[in-house]
Amino acid sequence: MANSGFFHMVRKYKEIIPLIGFVGVAAVGALSASVYFLWTKTDVIINKSGNPEPWENVNPSKSQKFITINQEWKPIEELETVKKMMK
User: Residue 71 region, left (φ>0) first, then alpha (ψ -120 to 50), else beta?
Assistant: beta
Tell me how many degrees the CA angle 36-43-30 measures, rounded to the nearest 5: 30
Q: What is the mean pLDDT of residues 9-18?
A: 91
Give yes or no for residue 2 having a pLDDT over 60: no
Amino acid 63: pLDDT: 67
20-69: pLDDT as tens digits: 999 999 999 999 999 988 888 766 777 767 767 777 777 766 667 767 77
Neighbours of 17 (CB within 10 A): 11
What does each C-alpha distance from 48 to 10, 38, 62, 73 come to in angstroms?
46, 14, 23, 27
| Helix segments in 41-87, DSSP class H | 77-86
